[in-house]
Amino acid sequence: MKTCPGCGNPVPEEATFCPHCGKPLEGQTDGPRYQSAPGASPPASGGESPAIRTLRQLFCSPLYLTVAIGYTVTLVSNLLSLLLTGTGLMSEDTTWVTGLTGATGWTGDVGGAMNTAVWSSLVWSVIAQIPAILVVISLWMMYASARDRSGAPLKTAGLTIIRVIQIIVLVLVGIMMVLMLGLMGIALTTVGFGDNSEVFTPLVAMMMFILVVVVVLVMLYGVQFIRTVDGIRKTIWTGTLQGNISAYVAVCSILGGIVMVLNILLGLLARAPFTALSGVSGAVSGICFGILLFRCRDEWQRLKAEQTLTESTVR
């Protein structure tokens, strides 16, 4: 890490301007000179390069705002659905209130045990939503930073939180998938199918193959998502384009949004309004996020084309 001569804050070694105060670092005198990448556009007033200006516009665009609102509504809907269905408020079963009515005897004991089980399950369900809660906070942090007109640089804290969460989820999903495949393989090898092996063995093999393909696609999505976030973070740090925006992540996000339409149907059929609302908001946020990534990808290509043209002109 090197130090900004303007504000004294530590900045990444590859940075060409300070992400805290926006001061260019090329003229630093207390250490080696740090030059911008060859052909890169010069920073604008306040130290923001065209790449960062583009990201700022994208992060405060109506499309991004739709993603943030949609993801927030999905989270709130899920939490309300857990609360209402978990406690029995949306059903005719009133056993959950036994502990509050002062019932005694075996009825009170059974009701108290069920009450404890219900609330324990509810608490763990809410804890499982913590990653989603952090993602929502991170989305709004990025929006607030992009909307800031005080001259403060674009912050990457929200992207960092999302990156860490995605890495943790990716590792956990990978471990769970490997364990599940291993257990299925052991079970199939141990039990077998007896006289029906000629019929069931090919069928199970096909199911295992499909499961492996799904696991690979999910893991690939996680890896590509992390790389995309890393590229955006490094672009903000350095002021020049870093990495690429994954088209695979954009396509998967749109497909995921389309699949969320099933939640709408399930919610309507089950008369669960919050499930249906979660389906609507999830579909909108997923599709809009994919479109946002494609827009970002187009801007990346445009800026790279301008950079290539600049390099050719210099030569």
Burial code (b: 16+ CB inside 10 Å, e: under 16) for 212-229 equals eeebeeeeebbbbbbbbb
Q: Tens digit of pLDDT per residue, the chain (315 long)? A: 677 776 677 777 766 666 555 566 654 433 333 334 444 444 444 557 888 999 999 999 999 999 999 999 999 998 888 777 655 544 444 444 444 444 444 444 545 555 565 566 667 777 888 899 999 999 999 999 999 888 888 999 999 999 999 999 999 988 888 888 788 777 766 666 556 666 666 777 788 788 888 888 989 999 999 999 999 999 998 888 888 899 999 999 999 999 998 888 888 888 888 889 999 999 999 999 999 999 999 999 988 888 777 667 755
Alpha carbon distance 24, 36 (integer Å): 10
Structure-block tokens of residue 121: 């399950």
Does pTM top 0.85 for this prediction?
A: no
Q: Which of 85, 151, 91 has its CA nearest to residue 118? A: 85
What pLDDT does 18 receive?
A: 62
Residues 6 or more apart whose CB falls under 8 angstroms from that of 200 comprise 193
Conformational region of residue 22, where left means phi above 0, alpha means psi within -120 to 50, and beta covers everything else: left
DSSP state letters, 115-137 = HHHHHHHHHHHHHHTHHHHHHHH
The residue extents of the domains of the chain are 1-33, 48-90+139-305
